[in-house]
Each structure stands twice: as structure tokens, then as C-alpha cells.
Amino acid sequence: MNDYEHHLDEDRRLTLLHLLAESPGYSATAHVLQPGLEPFGHRVGLTRVAGDLTWLHEAGLVRASQIGGVHVAEITQLGLDVANGRAVHPGVRRPVPRG
């Protein structure tokens, strides 16, 4: 993986955390999250979104499960902290300060 692909992966994971943080119940399916990534420059397939959710789950940033073959994720407190810049996690881009 080159540096650019690594940067895209980190940014996409941060964007997924932001989307989950803003979702009702702090959770969403991969089918809902996928189109939410596009306005942020991440046009990826469901397989990539599911892979990112698995990665975030293994990192303890989301709880991920499959219900009837549909990938569902719920952000954890650590995931919220990373999304809001209160914690740092390798593999997830650090948010840019607002203002």
C-alpha cells in the first residue's frame, strides 16, 4: 500500500466514525454509510465499507455485527473520542481543528 492509499484509508475511517456519531442511536448499516461517504470523496463499494467496519470493530472503535447478512455498526465511546479529537488511534486520521 502506498502513502496515498494509506491516507485515504485513514480519512475514510474517520469519516465513518463521524457519520456514526451523527446517526440516530449512534448506529447505521453499511448500506446507509456507503452513500454518506461520497460527499467526502470516498466512492467505494459495500465490500470496502464492510471491511472498514470490521477494522474499526477490531480496533474497539465500533461494535459491528451482521443481521441477516447486513453489516451494522454502532460507535463506541472510544470511537466518539477519536472522531471528536479527544483520543488518537493509529490507522484513523486525526480530525482537523474547527474554526
What is the pLDDT, as a whole number, of residue 56? 98
What is the pLDDT, as a whole number, of residue 97? 79
What is the pLDDT, as a whole number, of residue 99? 65
Number of Cβ within a 10 Å radius of residue 73: 30
24-49: per-residue pLDDT in tens?
999 999 999 999 999 999 999 999 99
The ranges assigned to domains in the chain are 3-83
Integer Cα distance of 76 and 57 in angstroms: 9
Q: Considering the entire predicted model, what is its pTM?
A: 0.95
SS3 (DSSP) at 75: strand
3-83: CATH topology is: Arc Repressor Mutant, subunit A (1.10.10)
49-66: per-residue pLDDT in tens?
999 999 999 999 999 999
User: Which grid cell sits at 40?
Assistant: 467526502
